[in-house]
Structure 1
Amino acid sequence: MDGAQSVQPAYALPADAAPQPAAETETAAPNNEIDLDRIIAVVNNDIITEHELEQRVHTVAINLRRQNIQLPPMEQLRIQVLERLITERAILQRARQTGIRVDDQMVNASIEQIARQNNLTIDELRQRLLADGVTFAAFRNEIRDEITTQRLREREVDEKIEIPESEVDAYLAEQAGFTGSDVTEYRISHILMPIDPGVEEDQVRAEAERVAERARAGEDFSTLVASYSRSEDALSGGDLGWRKQPDVPIEFWDAMKSDLASGNVYVAKSQHAFHVFKLVEKRNGVEAKLAGGPVVQTHARHILMFVSDITPEADVLRRLHDIKSRVESGQADFAAMARLNSVDSTATRGGDLGWLQTGDTVPEFEAAMNTLQPGEVSEPIKTNYGYHIIQVLERRTEKEGNPQRMRIAARQALRQKKLAEATYNWQRELRDEAFVDIREPSLRQR
C-alpha cells in the first residue's frame, strides 16, 4: 500500500457536531453577515472568508480532540488551517488551468454512495446537510473539489515518478548490509519548518531549536506538531510510522545515529527546511528472509479510509462495517466497493495488493490478514495509514529469494519514499507560485 494517500470523495455526518456558523447567518442582521464574510485572504483571483476559516477550524478542532491530541493555541491553529485552505485554492486553480473537469455524473455517483453509506435517501441527506448549516450546492462543490484534486495529483505527481534501475541496484545493495535474525525499526514523529523565500536560515534554525527544547522539557509533541509543522500530516500528529534505517531520511539518521534512545528529540536540516523530530520508540522488525526457504504468500485486497476534516473516526468505522456486511451478504462486490470508497492508490485495481509475504505490510495489517481464510473479510483494522478492511483471495507456498520479486519490492519502497516527498514539493510549489494576500496580520506565518 502506498504511504502517500490519494483523496477520494467522502463526507461525515457527525451526530455530535456542534451547529455550524452558517446556520446562524441565515437569520442574522445584514451587518452581521458582512462581518462573517470578511475577506481573510486573497489567493490569485479567489478569496477566503472568515466564515470559511472558522468552519474549517471548528472541524479540525473536533478531529484533533477525537485523536486525543491537545489543541494548540487557537491563534496558531487558525494559522495552520488558513495555510491549508490557501494550498487547496492554489491546487484547484491549477486544475482549472490544466483543463481537468469532473462531470456531474461522477459527482452524483459519489453523493449517492455517501447517502447509502449513511443509510439515507438523497432527500434525507439534503435535510441533514441543512441541519448542519451546509447547503446542498456547497456540498456538491466540496465533493467535486476533492475528486479534482486527486485527478490533478495523479497527473502532475504520481505519473511522473521514475525509479531508474541504478537506484534499485543501490537500494538492494544497501539492504544486503543487514544481518542477523531481525532488523531494528524506528517510529518517528516530525515537525517540518521550511525556509521560506526572504527568510534568514538562522532565524528558522533558532525557531526549530526553541521548539525542540520545549519538546525536551516535556511538552506534548503532537501539540507542537499541530502548532508549528508545515507538513501535510501536521494536523494528525506528524507520525512517519515505523521505518527501517534505510528508509529513514539521511538527514534524520545523521542527527540521531549517535544516540538512539527512545524519546530523544533532534533537529536536522535538509536543503529547504529544518526538521524537529522525535524518536518515539524502537522495536525488532521482521525476521531476515532466508534465501531458498519456503514462504507463505497471500493474495489480498483492501479498502482504506482515513479520518479527515470531513470524515471523523466514527463515520469511517460505520462505513467500513456497512461495506463488510454488504460484501458478506452478496449485495456488493469487494472490488467495486474499493473503487468507490478506498483512498489508497490501489482503488483503481479494486484494492488488489497482489501477492504479499512476511514484512510486506505493517504488522497490524499482516496480523489481521493472516487470520483470514480465502474469501473472508476482516473487521476494520487501524494502522499508520488509516482504517482498512481486508479480503484474502488465495494463499500459496513459494520458494524465497526470487530476484525479480526483490526488485519489484525495492521499486515499490523507493516509489513510496519519492511519492511522499514529491507530493509535498508539488503542493509547496503551487502555494509559492500563487499571489497570496493575507489581510489579517495575526494570521500571517511568523
Structure 2
Amino acid sequence: MMRSPLPLHRLSRHVLIMALCAAMPAVHAAEPVKRTPARAGQPATQAPAGDQFVDGIAAIVNKDVITLREVNVATAEARRELASQKIQAPNDRDLQRQVLQRLIMDRVQQQEAARMNIKVTDEQVDQAINGIAQRNRITIATMQAEIKKSGTTWEAYRDGLRKELQLDRMRQRAVDSTIVISDAEVDAFLKEQQRQGGGGMSALGQSAPAPAQQQAAPAAPVQSGPAMLALAQILVRVPEGTSGDQLTALRKKAEGLLARVKAGDDFAAVAAASSDGPEALQGGVMGARAADGWPDLFLQAVANVAPGQTSGIIQSGNGFHILKVLDRRSPGAQQAQRGGAAPAQPAPQPEQQATRAPQGPMQVTQTHARHILIKTSTVMSDTQARQRLEQLRQRITAGGENMAELARQYSNDGTAPQGGDLGWLNPGETVPAFEQAMNALQPGQISQPIQSPFGWHLIQVIERREQDIADEYQRMQARQVLFERRAQPAMEDWLSQLRDRAFIDNRLERQDAINANNS
C-alpha cells in the first residue's frame, strides 16, 4: 500500500523534557542558549581585552556574522547552565570554542530554514507548550516555575522550543521521505521479537490508535512499558571529504578522550569540553527513550554495558562515538516517559499511556484519499502556494478537470506519479492538520487548501470503509520502531552535510592556530 511522507513524529527529547516530571532523574537536560541576533553589516561590539579582533567578528557563516559579543554572552549563559547541572565547565577558551561551534550550527540551520521557508509562529509555540503541560499534567504557571527553577528563563525556553519545532519540520521535509522501510525488514523485525520471547510488539509497550471512529473499547493501561535506555555521548566529528591522515588523527583524538574517561575523568565534563555533538554542553546527554528507538549501532555497542559504564569507540558516518549508559530500565521497573513530549506540528495532542497489544478485532475507519502538495521555499511563499491550490481547486470543482491528472502535473509529493493517491489511511497515520481536514470531508469532496509542516495541500476523499486492522497493527508499530532507529542517524548525516557545504570562517579557531604556532 502506498504511503505519503506524512507520519506523526516527535521532537528531539532533551529540549522538551527539561525539568518536567522526569521519570529518570539521573538524566539532565537543558535548553539551547538564547543568543542575540547578529547580521552582516551591524556595528561590531567590543570583546574583552586579549580576545579582541579589530572588527569584533568571531565567525562568518555564509553571509551571516557571529560577533564576539554574541559569543561572550552565550558563553556566560552556558557556564551558568553547566553549573546548574553540576557539570564542571571547560576552561574559558574551550568553552568559548564549544559555544561558537553551537552558534555556527544554529546559524546554518536558521539559514536552511529560511531557504525552505519554514517558520514557527508565536501561536504555534503556545500550542506546543499547552500540549507539553497537558502531557505532564501541570498548569502553564507550574511549568514556568519549573523552567525557572532549572536555571533557564521562560523566554529562553520558548526560543529553544521554537528552534526545535522548526528543526523538526526541516527533518520531516528533508529527511523523513528518504527513509524507506521494506516489508521484508518488518517481517524480520517481528520474527526477531518473537525469537527473543517478547511476544511480538506487545513487549514494546506501544499505544494502539484511539481515534474517534474506533468502535472497540480501548485496552486498559498497564504499568509495564517498554525497556528504557538513557545514553550520553562524546562525538569526534569526521567532516565530509576527510583524508586518510586526518581520519587517523581524529581516531587518535577519540582514543585519547576514551582513555581520559577510563582513567576516571568525568564523562560529562569531557563531553562539555571536547565533544562535537549538539548535546555537548549538556554533558553529552542524549536523553532517555524506549530501547528499540535507538539506532542499531548504538544498541549493539551498549548491549553488555552496565549503567554508569562506557562503550568502546564506535564509528558511524558522522564520526567516532563514545557512549555512556546513564540508566537502563526493564519493562515494569518504572513507567518512564519517552523523553520528548510534543508532536512536530502546531497542535500537539496529549500522549496516551502504554497499552497492551490489541486482542481480537480492531475495527477502525479507513480513508482512501489523494492529495496535491505544494511545498514552500524561497521562490514559493505560503501565499503563492495557497493561491496555486485555490486555482487548482477551482479548475476541478468548476472546470471539471481531474484531480489525479493535476496531481501528476503540479504535486511536489512522491505520490505525484500515482495521481496523488495515498492508498488506505488508518487513523493517526498523517499529521493532525492533514487528518482533521480529511476527516471533515465526505467521499468525493475536495478540501480548501490546508497547511501542514510539509507545505500546502488539497485533499480529496475517494471512499471510506470499516476495517479490522488487528493483524496490520503490529506491522504498523514495527515499521514505526524501525523508522525511529534510522531517523536520528539520517538527521545527523543531513545536518553534517549542511555544515560541510556552508562557507564558515571561524576566526577564533584561526587565532588559536596562530597562537599555537607562535608558542
Alpha carbons 1:95, 1:148 under 8 Å: kept: yes
TM-score normalised to structure 1 length = 0.57
Structure-2 change in CA distance of 1:415 and 1:112 (3 Å): closer
1:56 match: 74
**Structure possessing the higher radius of gyration over alpha carbons:** 2
Aligned counterpart for 1:224 among listed residues 267, 270, 282? 270
Aligned counterpart for 1:156 among listed residues 166, 171, 174? 174
User: Residues 320-399 of structure 1 correspond to what in structure 2 (within 5 A)?
Assistant: 343-345=342-344, 348-353=347-352, 356-357=354-355
Structure-2 change in CA distance of 1:190 and 1:259 (3 Å): closer
1:404 Cα deviation from its structure 2 partner: 2.8
User: Residues 147-296 of structure 1 correspond to what in structure 2 (within 5 A)?
Assistant: 148-179=166-197, 187-196=230-239, 197-198=241-242, 200-241=246-287, 249-252=295-298, 255=301, 263-286=309-332
| Superposition RMSD in Å | 4.9
1:265 Cα deviation from its structure 2 partner: 4.0
Give the AA of the match of 2:349. G
1:65 Cα deviation from its structure 2 partner: 1.9
1:282 Cα deviation from its structure 2 partner: 4.5
Give the AA of the match of 1:4. S
Aligned counterpart for 1:66 among listed residues 84, 104, 110? 84
Q: Once structures 1 and 2 are overlaid, which stretch shifts more, 233-242 or 410-419?
A: 233-242
Q: 2 CA distance for matches of 1:139 and 1:254?
A: 34
Alpha carbons 1:262, 1:279 under 8 Å: kept: yes
Give the AA of the match of 2:270. L
Give the secondary-structure state (helix, strand or coil) at the position aligned to 1:267.
strand
Q: 2 CA distance for matches of 1:188 and 1:117?
A: 29
Alpha carbons 2:228, 2:330 under 8 Å: kept: yes
Q: Within the alignment, does 1:415 sit opposite 2:486 as a pair?
A: no
1:230 Cα deviation from its structure 2 partner: 1.9
Q: 2 CA distance for matches of 1:443 and 1:343?
A: 41
Whichever structure has more helix as a proportion of its residues is 1
Give the AA of the match of 2:242. G
1:194-219 per-residue CA deviation (whole Å, 9 max, x = no partner) reads: 22233522111111111111111111
1:83 Cα deviation from its structure 2 partner: 1.4
Q: 2 CA distance for matches of 1:158 and 1:259?
A: 31
Alpha carbons 1:6, 1:343 under 8 Å: kept: no
Q: 2 CA distance for matches of 1:21 and 1:96?
A: 18
Structure-2 change in CA distance of 1:175 and 1:139 (3 Å): closer
Structure-2 change in CA distance of 1:222 and 1:155 (3 Å): same
2:495 match: 427
Structure 2, unaligned stretches of length 5 or more? 1-8, 19-33, 37-43, 130-138, 143-151, 204-225, 359-468
Q: Within the alignment, does 1:4 sit opposite 2:12 as a pair?
A: yes
1:98 match: 116
Structure-2 change in CA distance of 1:101 and 1:241 (3 Å): closer
1:16-48 per-residue CA deviation (whole Å, 9 max, x = no partner) reads: xxxx998xxxxxxx9848969711111111110
Give the AA of the match of 1:168. V
1:77 Cα deviation from its structure 2 partner: 1.9
Q: 1 CA distance for matches of 2:163 and 2:297?
A: 35
Alpha carbons 1:21, 1:51 under 8 Å: kept: no
1:62 Cα deviation from its structure 2 partner: 1.8
1:403 match: 471
Aligned counterpart for 1:39 among listed residues 57, 60, 79? 57
Structure 1, unaligned stretches of length 5 or more? 11-19, 23-29, 120-131, 288-297, 307-341, 361-400
Structure-2 change in CA distance of 1:100 and 1:43 (3 Å): same
Give the AA of the match of 2:486. K
Q: 2 CA distance for matches of 1:248 and 1:149?
A: 19
Give the AA of the match of 2:12. A
Structure-2 change in CA distance of 1:179 and 1:240 (3 Å): farther
Give the AA of the match of 1:226. A
1:108 Cα deviation from its structure 2 partner: 7.0
1:136-179 per-residue CA deviation (whole Å, 9 max, x = no partner) reads: 9x999999867654543332234544333222222212222213
Q: 2 CA distance for matches of 1:141 and 1:244?
A: 27
Structure-2 change in CA distance of 1:40 and 1:212 (3 Å): same
2:463 match: none
Q: 1 CA distance for matches of 2:232 and 2:181?
A: 27
Q: 1 CA distance for matches of 2:61 and 2:227?
A: 45
Alpha carbons 1:157, 1:426 under 8 Å: kept: yes
Alpha carbons 2:57, 2:65 under 8 Å: kept: yes
